[in-house]
Structures are given as structure tokens and as C-alpha cells.
A = this chain, B = another copy of it.
């Protein structure tokens, strides 16, 4: 089987870019990744993006990258899978190399959200629910969904709002070390717990923000020190009412099992982890689904500090979606950006000797989950 390697990574600062366009951010991250890879000949481009059509009247992002970077008449496409768009674009790049059609692929992700009013963004994001379902029209939102999961988790396990706050605090503390992260202001457990409520029981710090930003990766079949050991993507239930168990997001578990199986490794082999913490609750569920901690006990691992950068299973050393920020289409690739730096020994919050890394990127209420395992070779 053809192997795939990472040759370069690029990322803009995440945050508010009022004076820059979507295209400007996308090209910036892409140029950085190409520069980092030594300006290779690029055979194809995949762009991960969710909202540019509805919020910026801008599609054809694949063609724009090829055209504006002078890459020639090459195949390009945009790939969408809600908040997993970046991870899915990465997978299409890997499949393109495995197919034998491409030697080197640029994968970029971008989102611009901060120019719009919050209700308009919320409405646009609801495109990640099934419009034909009654729950969307009944008023369900993504904070609402993850709030329900938190309530259920508290009820079943004895966890509390304080455990959610510990996730948010950890990720904020990680972000303080990451110059590209959106939030760089220190905070406290008290401030997090006392922050205004978004949806019971999730407060402001439990919810990922609106963010402008872009990230990009150059992949090649040519060996490099960073090997993509496995790629897995699954789709899961698209409606909350299809959930058999509110303590589980089955797509995460399925994508993890497939990724481990293909890689021939298990959770015990992973040194550093980026997880899709769209809400603090999601991080707790994901570390359980991915087998890092037993079901119903993720909150204890948080409490015991195991997921800190200095812990035995460092999670979201970048600051995660909660504090690095969540420019939707870029998120999955910003996870890879962080992990590649971890494996090269050049990361914010460097984990000493990190050799194998896992990224998990979620879409919708579990409609998509992509897992990629990288290793230093």
C-alpha cells in the first residue's frame, strides 16, 4: 500500500481578522505549508470548508488556491462535512496519493465567521442538522445538543460543572503557550464556572468560539520524518433522536477503532492527542470513545490531570477548539499542524519524546468523525 507523509504545515493566527478576506487567509496558510515543504510541485488541492458559500458568497475555493498560487491546471475540490470538513479534506488528499494519481497534494482549510452576527452564524451552522427533521424545527441547536449530553453524563457518572470547567481551564492554559491561539488571556476555574450560561449546564467557556483562520498541510508519497500511519472516517446518526445512548457519540468510537486497526496500534501507543472539543463535554466523551479512559470515567482522568500537557495522555496541547479557536473548515488541519510540531519536537507545550499522535475531528452531532494517526519515523 502506498504510504503518505507530511512535508509541510502552515497556519494563520486564529481569532478575528476583520481586515483580511477568506481568500487571503486561505492563501496565507497554503503558502506557509508549501514554503515549509520546500515548494514542491503540487498535483492536486483539496480545501476543507463549511460556511463560505452561505456566509461569504464564496465557493470554488479549490480553483482559487490553484489559480492564485500559480499551481497550473491541476485537479482541485472543496470538501464539506460540517465541522469535520478539514479532517475529511485531509483524507481525500491521502486517498488521492494512495490512488496513484497524485504524488504531492496540498490540503487547506479555512473559515471566516467573525464578520457576521452571532444569530446568523448559528443559523448557518444549523445546516449541519437534517433540515427535514422535526428536532431542527423544534429549535435544537448544537449547544443544546451537547448540553443534553452533559446533563445525562452528570446524572449517570456523578461528574459536575466543575469537571467541564477543568477541561476549559486546561485548554486555556495550553493556549497561553500557543501564539497562534485565539484566546491568550489567563483565567481561573472560578471565572469559568461563574461565566454566563449559554445553555444549561454549559457556560461561555464550555463552548468553542466563532473564529477566523486557516491551516494547510502538504502531503506526499515521498518519505519524510512524519508518516500518516492511518486515516479513518465514518458517518454516524444525523439526528439526536437516533441516539441510542446519550453518553456516547458512536461515530467517534467507530472512527477510532478503524484508525487503530489500520495502524496496528492501540490507545496505549498514542503519546499526544488533539480532540474535537467543540464543547468541554465533547472532550470528555471523546477521550472515552477513543479508549484513552474507561467509559464514564473520563471526568476522573481530567480531575487527576492525566490530560494536561504534563500528564500521561496530553489532550489538546494547542488549546483545542475551546481556546485555540474553531474556524470550522480549518480545525481538522490545525490539529495536524499542532501534532506535526509535537512529533518534530517544535510544538507549543512540547510533549517530550512524542512519537505517535492522534487527531479526531467531529462533524454535526456525530454525523462525521475523522481520525488520523501520525508517527515520527
Are A21 and B132 in contact, CB atoms less than 8 angstroms apart? Answer: yes
Of A90-98, A168-176, A293-301, which stretch is located at the interface?
A90-98
**Interfacial chain B residues near A1, Cβ < 8 Å:** 100
Q: How many residues of A contact B (CB 8 A)?
A: 67
Residue A234 lies at the interface, judged by CB distance under 8 Å to chain B: yes
Task: Give CA–CA (A237, B76) in the complex, Å.
Answer: 12
Q: Check: A180 CB closer than 8 A to any chain B CB.
A: no
Main secondary structure, interface of A, reads mixed
**Contact, CB under 8 Å: B57 / A23:** no
Report how far A101 CA is from B93 CA in the complex, Å.
13
**5 tightest A-B CB contacts, nearest first:** A98-B99, A63-B367, A75-B233, A73-B234, A63-B235
- In the complex, whether A78 has a CB less than 8 A from a CB of chain B is yes
Check if A237 sits within 8 Å of B59, measured CB to CB. Answer: no
Contact B73 A130 (CB under 8 A): no
Can you tell how many copies of this chain the complex includes? 2
B59 touches A80 (CB 8 A): yes
Contacts of A54 in B (CB 8 A): 53-54, 57
Q: Does A82 contact B (CB under 8 A)?
A: yes
Q: A66: which B residues are within 8 A, CB to CB?
A: 235
A126-140 vs B: 1/0 string, CB under 8 Å? 111111100000000
Is A76's CB under 8 angstroms from B128's CB?
no
Whether A235 touches B368, Cβ cut-off 8 Å, given contacts A59-B50, A95-B99, is: no
Can you name the residue of chain B whose Cβ is closest to the Cβ of A58? Answer: B131
Question: Given A22-B131, A53-B54, A57-B123, does the pair A63, B81 have CB atoms closer than 8 Å?
Answer: yes
In the complex, what residues of B have CB within 8 A of residue A22's CB? 131
Is the CB of A64 closer than 8 A to any CB of chain B? yes
Let me know if A364 is at the binding interface, CB within 8 A. yes
